[in-house]
Structure 1
């Protein structure tokens, strides 16, 4: 992970003309609390990934190979990202069940 090096001059008084670096907000900025924090998305006991606020939505970063197909996708909100991850698990479960049924039919034949 890259480090963030910012040259800050130390003063004993608050600076009313302070400007926050891009992507950061000042503590007394009224809009500072509006940004939602990143959310971890778990499906059952598996951590699917993290939804990071970006612009008008969230970007999904997968933490498991099972969810790499969603990696980098942008959703309107974290709930949509979680729904997509649940659907991916459900689709894989259905595919595995079909595979098991086909294998069982082949054994019987």
Structure 2
């Protein structure tokens, strides 16, 4: 799986970890919790960009970038690897389905 960090513009939204704390109450542990948050990751299967996994709560939400992966769009996974595994399984299932099709029936369907 190939991925890279995506730079996101800063927002004026409060930090969910430290928003209820006064500036003097923010500890190094609070900062460390924020630093452990996984950055958004692009998920590629072979040379196809499947989508992006964006951190949300205790997992990542998958946003598809190809119609082949629209069935996974909006799904929350525990981590980026789980999202990538689901995308790989989706491609493998389509490949198996295509291999088992009757070639003659496929030609008839295309002509109709």
**Normalising TM by the smaller chain, what interval?**
0.5 to 0.7
Distance 1:89 1:48 in 2: 10
Structure-2 separation of matches of 1:21 and 1:49: 27
Unaligned runs of 5+ in 2: 1-8, 19-25, 108-112
**How far off its partner does 1:47 sit?**
0.4
| TM-score under structure 1 length normalisation | 0.68
Moved over 6 A (4+): none
- Cα distance in structure 1, aligned partners of 2:106 and 2:64: 36
Q: Which runs of 5+ in 1 are unaligned?
A: 7-19
**RMSD of aligned residue pairs (Cα, Å):** 2.9
**CA shift at 1:56, angstroms?**
1.0
- Separation in 2, partners of 1:51, 1:38: 6
Q: Which has the higher contact order (CA 8 A, sep 6+)?
A: 2
Point out the structure with max Rg over C-alpha. Answer: 1
How many equivalent pairs are there? Answer: 89
Report the TM-score when normalising by structure 2.
0.66
State the SS of the aligned residue for 1:36.
Answer: coil
